[in-house]
Structure 1
Amino acid sequence: MNDNTFGDTRDSTLTAVPTTGNWERDTLEKLVFATVREQRATRRWGIFFKLTFLGLAFFALWAFFDFDFTGSGSETLGRHTALIEIDGSIEAEGSGSADVVIPSLNKAFADAGSVAVVLRINSPGGSPVQAGNIVDEILRLKQAYPSKPIYVVVDEICASGGYYIAAASDKIFVNKASIVGSVGVLMDGFGFTGTMEKLGVERRLLTAGENKGFLDPFSPQSNKHKAHAQAMLNEIHQQFIAVVRTGRGKRLKETPETFSGLFWSGAKAVDMGLADGFGTVETTARDVAKAEDIVDYTTREGLPERVLKKFGASVGAGMVKTLGPAARPALR
């Protein structure tokens, strides 16, 4: 009995040993497989993020360098009318800036397939510097490509700086209800001296240079500074008038109100010689340029350009605030 009992105990012990070994091996195998699966998943995610990063980098480069996969060669575009749009204020940023418009103009004129350039303008005006730079480039391109006309089609409004640009074109087409004109210059700002006196606030401004506080809104406006600002506005106004007179020539029916800063409907602008007739981009391409196919050459800003320009604008605004008055001449 005792032998059998001890024998049974020994037998059960011997059979339990391999069971324990199998459990440890299974656990180790599970740990190894789990580690392998985790490493594979890590590699897959790593590949995914690398491909995503490469895709974003490629897209950023594409946007930054403004690659045009529609092509600009005449062999793919054929005979067409080139279109460039200016929508919004004529400022250092946006579709109305010289940095955006001028490259588009150069592409449009240089393309052998374009027979004419149409500049569609919807702008209330803006910077005389930006408008002047665009006008200078239009005049240069007209000399370089004498057989390729440039037309302007007015959308809702083409006033002040917008009309400054339009006047350099060969012909201007409007809608009868468009707003056209406003040949003038302004410099605006605010004065808070009366309010400060009522509140008992004292302005403490220190300058190096007797005129450095020119047009400071918290200081009284001197007659000398007002006269200087007015003379500068008159000078820029004469530059504007010269561009309009040169561009419109004998078509312009000049009156005392023409350069007063007033604006008119498109129908009235045609009567005054500020515009040549009625039309759209499509009718201008079909009936005037005789090239019905329209190709858009407008430079579209990508994300990197917008970020860089906003950074530059912030720095520039800080410099203007530090070095000069907030008020600046504007064609609007």
Structure 2
Amino acid sequence: EGISVGVGFDISHFKTGAQYSNNSKSGMVYGNISGKRFHSFLTHDKQNKFYNYKLSGVVYDIQPVQKFGPIEIVSSSGNTMEEIIEKVKTLKKDDRIKGIVFQSGNLSAGLAKFQELQDAFIDFKSTGKKIVFYYDYITNSNYVFASSIADKIYLNPGGILDLRGISASMPYIKGLLDTLGIDVIRFQSHAYKNAANMFTETHMTEAEREMYEDFLSDLYAQMVLMISEGRGMTDEQVRTAIDNGPYLLAERALEAGLVDGLIYRDQLEDTLKVLYEDVQITQRYKIPENRLDWSDDPTAKVAVIYATGNIHSGKSIPGKSIGDETYMKAVEQARKDPSIKGIILRIDSGGGSSLASENIYREVFLCKKGDNPKPVVSSFSGVAASGGYYIACPSDKIFAEPTSVTGSIGVIAAVPNLTRLFEKIHVNWDNVKEGRNADFASMYRPMSDEEKKMITESVSAEYKDFVGHVAKSRGMTYEEVDAVGKGRVWTGTKGLEYGLIDAYGGMKEAVDEIKKLANIQKEIELVAYPKSKSAFTINLSMDTPDMTLNDLPRDIRILIERIQESTFYNEGRILYLMPYIMPEILE
């Protein structure tokens, strides 16, 4: 009989050991490297930590990508919703972490994204863990978010709380265009479909004002609710506090009960130690990946197809625009892939080209009625309106947050005419043609009544198709959809009331629903479509010194963005495009 002796050590991703047998007079040394962490004998990590979550910048659904041939360049600045929510889930499960502290990081995200994140952080707190914010300066929407989830909010004694409510300011440049000799001829299905009003009006129309007032009222009610529930204040107290803002003196914010203390950053950790039993703020966090099992549990694959930006013909710019060619191909591939059990559309779009929207709608519709049918669930991010709503309406279920922007069921066309400008600058045009309408709607001559009639009839027909498709997809009558259509923009709150969406929720609820619809018993693996075919992907994390639109004064930026948007569509004049919603309303 012999004796065998062995010893082994597991450290992080590396496992090593040795064995010796007295009987065979032989032994071996082995090593093993795993993508997952082994259960280590080193268990010296301290408990009772607050993780310093350095979260700031833009919150994306999908990171913008720039392609150069076979190379993809992805900006790694900012964060995606998935990254944030998955990290919060991990922190929730980690017994070493007793809380999260945020220090002066303002996020750029719409209220709808904040509400979706709110659910994730409240789930984190359900285990008894804490959330603390410290700010030198806090923006309007970031305060709404922080107040809805925080156990404590601290402000620098010299800091500012920029709580001020919400407003809609719109530029109108008809006077400028008149001076230049430029006319924009507008065709709209209804007075509420006002995406072109910037170019055709000198002031806000009554229909615009009515729509924006109703829209802001709903958003403001949600804003007040988030603060009141988080801070334990009455509705009236919150409204009074907002009316008294912004708080340019930190003492006023403390007196109003909007923050819990005025301290300097170097005092934060000592303050937390008093409150939460000698905690330590940790600057670094490594996700524990210990595994004692031999393999991953089997999963069921669900495709996630992101629709971010304006809708147009051609190829998408990932994270920036939705090209019908790219999007149709992604839906078709997911539908025909036998390993994909269902499809989630994650939409953040105010629409665009009616033709491109129609093409995408058809491909989504085929998921229900074509070959290889499979369930489709839509999750609305900040905006899913006009064409953005149109591509979602064939879905089996639609989820949105109360502050998501939806609706805008309507059609618009705008045709520029430069006849007066050419007269001013003494440019003469002559024309030779074969075919009565060969120079249809040319910008160098006045538009004829017949041309105007043809475009008007097209807009009217497109609206009837839009309403009819929504009615068929949503199980509503034409009259029911028309009553809430006519170009009106709605919040998710009204969208639920009027039957345009099925329930409140974000990606979590969409995943739960797809499991039910597809009768999936396994864990879900989300697979992004279309699949990247690039040979190389480069992540850039450096800040570039180049000026962007965000660096410009707000009012100038708004004007440039509107003009840029008006030149985006080159394949047709008929648009499913929502009115411009000011960034400060949503962010």
TM tier, shorter chain? 0.5 to 0.7
1:150 equivalent in alignment to 2:359: no
1:83 equivalent in alignment to 2:307: no
1:1-332 equivalences under 5 Å are 78-91=299-312, 92-94=314-316, 96-143=322-369, 144-146=371-373, 148-250=374-476, 254=480, 256-286=482-512, 289-290=515-516, 293-299=524-530, 328-332=573-577
Counterparts of 2:399 and 2:501 in 1: how far apart (Å)?
A: 6
Counterparts of 1:240 and 1:170 in 2: how far apart (Å)?
A: 18
Counterparts of 1:243 and 1:109 in 2: how far apart (Å)?
A: 21
Q: Deviations over 1:224-244 (max 9, x none)?
A: 100011111222222211210
Counterpart residue type for residue 574 of structure 2? P
Q: 1:141 to 1:283 in 2, by over 3 A?
A: closer
CA offset at residue 249 of structure 1? 0.9
Structure-2-length-normalised TM-score:
0.38
Counterpart residue type for residue 437 of structure 2? N
* SS across alignment from 2:480: coil
Q: 1:257 to 1:203 in 2, by over 3 A?
A: farther
Counterpart residue type for residue 205 of structure 1? N
CA offset at residue 155 of structure 1? 0.8
Counterparts of 1:178 and 1:217 in 2: how far apart (Å)?
A: 38
CA offset at residue 289 of structure 1? 2.4
Q: 1:87 to 1:270 in 2, by over 3 A?
A: same
Counterparts of 2:439 and 2:298 in 1: how far apart (Å)?
A: 56
For residue 49 of structure 1, what is the aligned residue in structure 2?
none
Q: 1:173 to 1:83 in 2, by over 3 A?
A: same
RMSD: 3.1
Counterparts of 2:71 and 2:427 in 1: how far apart (Å)?
A: 54
| 1:128–1:331 CA contact under 8 A, matched in 2 | yes
Higher relative contact order (CA 8 A, sep 6+): 1
Structure having the higher helix fraction is 1
Q: Percent identity?
A: 27
* SS across alignment from 2:413: coil
Work out the number of aligned pairs and report it. 242
Q: Structure 2: which 5+ residue stretches go unaligned?
A: 1-67, 73-295, 536-569, 578-587
For residue 75 of structure 2, what is the aligned residue in structure 1?
none
Q: Which has the larger radius of gyration?
A: 1
Counterpart residue type for residue 382 of structure 2? E
Counterparts of 2:513 and 2:572 in 1: how far apart (Å)?
A: 44
CA offset at residue 106 of structure 1? 3.1
Counterparts of 1:252 and 1:327 in 2: how far apart (Å)?
A: 26
CA offset at residue 264 of structure 1? 0.9
| 2:350–2:384 CA contact under 8 A, matched in 1 | yes
CA offset at residue 210 of structure 1? 2.1
Counterparts of 1:289 and 1:230 in 2: how far apart (Å)?
A: 45
Q: Structure 1: which 5+ residue stretches go unaligned?
A: 1-58, 64-74, 305-324
Structure-1-length-normalised TM-score:
0.64
Counterpart residue type for residue 407 of structure 2? G
For residue 28 of structure 2, what is the aligned residue in structure 1?
none
